[in-house]
Amino acid sequence: MARIAVGGFQHETNTFAPSKARFADFERGAGWPGLTAGPALFETVAGINLPVTGFVDAARAAGHDLVPLLWCAATPSAHVEQAAFERIAEALLQRLTEALPVDGVYLDLHGAMVTEHLEDGDGELLRRVRALVGPAVPVVASLDFHANVTAEMVAQVSALVAYRTYPHIDMDATGARAARLLDRLLTDDAAVHKAMRKLLFLIPLPWQCTLIEPMASIYRELEALEEGEVLSLSFAPGFPPADIAECGPSVMAYGRSQQAADQAAETLADMIGRREADFAGRVYSPDEAVRSAQDLVRQGTRPVVLADTQDNPGAGGSSDTVGLLDALVRLGAEGAVVAVLHDPEVAAAAHAVGQGGEITVRLGAKSGLPGHRPFDGTFRVERLGDGSFAATGPFYRGSRMRLGPMALLSVAGVRVIVASVKQQAADQAMFRHLGVEPAEQNILALKSSVHFRADFQPIAGTVLVVAAPGPNPIDHRLLPYRRLRSGVRLMPAEPTHR
């Protein structure tokens, strides 16, 4: 039995997004639990689809003694404020200091955290952890699928283990894989060798989905390569809207020999590189998407899902742009529902007037994003909710949503789900909380890129990816990168960064 310190600090940073992550955002947590520390940690995350949960369950089953540090996550946004990073990092490191000596450390990280003062927040945190425990203690971290893995992160840990699904339905399974790998490091004296390969092109989020090609076959091949002397193999496609030098896809391999690690990393990286041109697909303008959806509905295909990818709060979007809503209303889309639009002011106004009342408001565009205007209209308040409900889909599985006052509004036959807390529309429970059955609608306009597919693809007649105005452009050539290293293609098979 080993004594293992367990903690986590997650943030996915879109350096082009309009608002930063404050300490209060980590305290609140929204879709995931808020900041929790000490003995309450394990109870708080129990039963939730999170890496730390999978790690705890697997490590306990192996008989290890676990020491809780702290765990927190905030909704993706722009940079983590320096004060927030330092406060949380200091608290985690203080608890680790008090727990010493330990035989091993596990951290549940994202791998794409950028702070006001650090390009590589995860790498800096790992550096500080390593400095505390020394070079001999095994340190393993799990990473999000979208991690922008850096050389510093690889250097500071014994191993990194990334998710293998997008939508991320394997978060707890990834934690369990990390536990098994750490157990092996603790019980086997043989050296583990590491290798990393960076790919030279950025992959748009909708085409990182593992339910479609080319990702589906790439991950099948990855699992086939993870055998024999190859102990662990990961592919992190990266998080493109992060203006840092090491942004982009990475392959990490761990083996019994350097040759095994190098060969596995090289084989997988070459395979991905040969598929570069396949990481693209049809993208619709708002009007094209609505007209196509209306045609499909008339032909009997429903519901049609419109993925409002450029305002995806799961990638740092504000979740309050109204370009797609405007197109739905203007083109007379019947049976359409937009979700989830973040506007606490309008939610409060709806609650003030009550169910069945009417409000004349300016909906959305409160984040101050340049060039975005609210949707002006008179809305009927169809239904109200307190925003507290259990998630039922595979992605948010086990999580308790706390979205604050919510309202179902209607205008010109189009309905809009409004929430007081920003959250990606990736669970059907968000609709049912307000009395809407998703499968019975003609059109579902979801502020999400891919995570919605876990719960909505089984009921969808078809899915269309829409480029409505938003802070997370699907075309990376529209982003003003300044720190990205030279030689990286901003779009697959397109010209280089510079």
Same-domain check for residues 211 and 352: no
Residue 254 main-chain phi, psi, to 5 deg: -130, 130
Question: 128: domain range?
Answer: 3-278
Q: 345 and 414 share a domain?
A: yes
Residue 119 lies in a domain: yes
The answer to whether 29 touches 72, Cβ cutoff 8 Å, is yes
425-482 pLDDT tens trace: 999 999 999 999 999 999 999 999 999 999 999 999 999 999 998 888 999 999 999 9
Is there a single domain that holds both residue 320 and residue 446? yes
Domain assignment present for residue 493? The answer is: no
Mean per-residue pLDDT of the chain: 96
**Residue 233 near residue 264, CB atoms below 8 Å:** yes
Same structural domain, 196 and 314: no
CA distance 311 to 366: 13
Tokens 């007649």 found at: 461
Summarised one tens digit per residue, pLDDT across range 76-135 is 999 999 999 999 999 999 999 999 999 999 999 999 999 999 999 999 999 999 999 999
Q: Do both 239 and 377 map to the same domain? A: no
Say which amino acid occupies 399.
S
Cα radius of gyration rounded to whole Å, the chain:
22
For residue 431, being part of any structural domain is answered with yes
| C-alpha to C-alpha distance for 474 and 35, rounded to whole angstroms | 31
Q: How far apart are CA 121 and CA 85, in angstroms?
A: 8
- Which residue in the block uniquely carries the two structure tokens 């399974």? 173
Cα 140 to Cα 28, 72, 243, 279, 475, distances in angstroms: 27, 18, 26, 30, 34
Pick the closest to residue 450 from 289, 309, 276 (CA basis): 309
pLDDT value for 194: 98
User: Is 40 inside a domain boundary?
Assistant: yes
What pLDDT does 190 receive? 80
How far is it, in rounded angstroms, from Cα 367 to Cα 313?
12
- Residue 472 has φ and ψ, to the nearest 5°, of -125, 75
Residue 194 placed within a domain: yes
| Packed helices 171-187 and 51-61: angle between N→C axes, nearest 10 degrees | 40
Same domain, 258 and 290: no
Alpha-carbon distance 308 to 324, whole Å? Answer: 7
Separation between Cα atoms, residue 32 and residue 28, nearest integer Å: 9
405 part of a folded domain: yes
Q: Tokens at residue 285, please?
A: 């303008």
Tell me which residue of 346, 352, 338, 333 sits closest to 430, measured CA to CA.
338
Query: What is the tally of structural domains in the chain?
Result: 2
Provide the percentage of residues in the chain whose pLDDT is more than 90. Answer: 94
The answer to whether position 483 is within a domain reads: no
CB 311 within 8 A of CB 326: no
Looking at the fold, whether 268 and 294 belong to one and the same domain comes out as: no
pLDDT digits (tens, 9 = 90+) for 134-165: 999 999 999 999 999 999 999 999 999 999 99
Statement to judge: residues 291 and 270 lie in one domain: no
**pLDDT of residue 368 exceeding 90:** no
With a cut of 90, say whether residue 498 has pLDDT above it. Answer: no
Cβ-contact 436, 408 below 8 angstroms: yes
Looking at per-residue confidence, does 238 or 470 come out higher?
Answer: 238
Q: What is the pTM of this model?
A: 0.93
Q: Which pairing describes strands 304-308 and 462-466: parallel, antiparallel, or unpaired? A: parallel
Domain stop point among 278, 301, 333:
278
Query: What's the pLDDT band for 496 if we cut at 50, 70, 90?
Result: confident
Domain boundary among 278, 311, 336: 278
Q: Are residue 311 and residue 274 in the same domain, yes or no?
A: no
Which of 357-371, 384-398, 401-415 is predicted with the least confidence, judged by mean pLDDT?
Answer: 357-371
Judge contact between 426 and 450, C-beta under 8 A: no
In this structure, the answer to whether residues 264 and 338 fall within a common structural domain is no
**Position 280, amino acid:** A
**Where among 221, 245, 278 does a domain terminate?**
278
User: Per the domain annotation, does 327 fall within a domain?
Assistant: yes
DSSP 303: P
Task: Say how far apart CA 115 and CA 131 lie, in whole Å.
Answer: 20
Band the pLDDT of 32: cuts 50, 70, 90: confident
Q: Are 272 and 218 in contact (CB under 8 A)?
A: yes
- Among residues 257, 250, 37, the alpha carbon closest in space to that of 123 is found at 250
**Could you tell me the CA-to-CA distances from 61 to 184, 402, 491 in Å, in that order?**
14, 31, 44
Determine the longest span between alpha carbons in the chain, in angstroms: 70
Residues 294 and 260 in one domain: no
Nearest to 232 by CA among 251, 260, 249, 253: 253
The pLDDT value recorded for residue 18 is 86
Same domain, 163 and 126: yes
